[in-house]
Amino acid sequence: MTDRGPAQGRHVPVMRDRILDLLEPSLGRPGTVHVDGTLGMGGHAEGVLERFPECTVIGIDRDREALSLSGERLARFGDRFRPVHAVYDEIATVLDDLGIAAVDGILFDLGVSSLQLDEADRGFAYRVDAPLDMRMDQSTGRTAADVLNTYSAEDLTRILKEYGEERFARKIATAVVREREVEPFTSSGRLVDLLRRVIPMASQRQSGHPAKRTFQALRIEVNDELAVWRRAIDSAIDVLAVGGRIAVLSYHSLEDRATKRAFAAGATSSTPAGLPVELPEHAPYLSLVTRGAEEPSEDEVAANPRAASARLRVAERTRATAPSSQSSSHPKGGRR
């Protein structure tokens, strides 16, 4: 593997200071535990460990190289940092294995990481020719090439429309199916060339790089990101202690919509219509900390263009609820 340098020099954590400020009421006490569900190269986790010297951070990532790089970056914090190889929808299992019932802070920084974008051989970046992989965990699962070479035109159209919000989805899918009959797709360069030919020039001038939406759609499909996120957000709220806060950075409208829906469900009374009194079990169990979704400042976007599409939502757990299954040995939102 090529030595790509330490994580500190390659990663600028999006909205780091704002996130730390919003998490401070939950993490600024002795003995707190924070989960970074998308550890990446450890920029946000480093901020938590520095700002809150009595907090322990559990860092989850499906990418083994990210765990290795962040481990080097955060080694100075000793056993206050605990890395775990897992997908973030496994948060409840991770905590159960560590003997932790509930946590005080949770952060998810969704989407593709700087590590993955910067590595040409991973196939995430459309500006360099590379194998069409796009797996966040390269030890398992189908690749982007598998999707392009085996999906029907109908399925390709669906994922390009739904995950990429691509106006020319059907036209692209038809061209892919036609081209793969001549030769299977293996590299990103050939796919980019196809997209340049298929997408009208007027649209390219207006919407930026013609491969942006298709690459996003393929990445989401390969890593099952939206289904994983819908499971993860519910599990994360379940393991959040009363008084704990969860912060989510989204970069795609569908991710942000799922976050908004989960937070709104928790912050809304479930009292049936016509019931004169709200029973305790129907009371909201979340409080919205941010008003809508916050965006990075113009200065931050100028310094770090990858932050441009970021949307931040934060919620706080206000009460415990009953266990969701018989396997649970503690109330949701309880204490360790």
Question: Taking 50 as the threshold, does the pLDDT of residue 303 lie above it?
Answer: yes
How far is 132 from 123, CA to CA, in rounded Å?
5
Assign 85 to helix, strand or coil: strand
Annotation: binding site:
42-44, 61, 88, 109, 116
Quick one: 274 exposed, middle or buried, by C-beta within 10 A (0-12, 13-18, 19+)?
Answer: exposed
DSSP-assigned letters across all residues of 6-22: -GGGT---TTHHHHHHH
Annotation: binding site for S-adenosyl-L-methionine:
42-44, 61, 88, 109, 116
Architecture of domain 7-115+225-317: 3-Layer(aba) Sandwich (3.40)
Question: What CATH code is assigned to 137-222?
Answer: 1.10.150.170
Amino acid 124: pLDDT: 64
- On average, the pLDDT of the chain sits at 87
Please state which of the ranges 43-47, 192-196, 302-306 shows the lowest mean pLDDT.
302-306
- Output the pTM of the full model: 0.82
Please state which of the ranges 16-25, 135-144, 282-291 shows the lowest mean pLDDT.
135-144
Amino acid 89: pLDDT: 95
Which regions of the chain carry the CATH code 1.10.150.170? 137-222
Place 335 in a pLDDT band, splitting at 50, 70 and 90.
Answer: very low
Which regions of the chain carry the CATH code 3.40.50.150? 7-115+225-317
Question: Taking 80 as the threshold, does the pLDDT of residue 33 lie above it?
Answer: yes
Question: Taking 80 as the threshold, does the pLDDT of residue 272 lie above it?
Answer: no
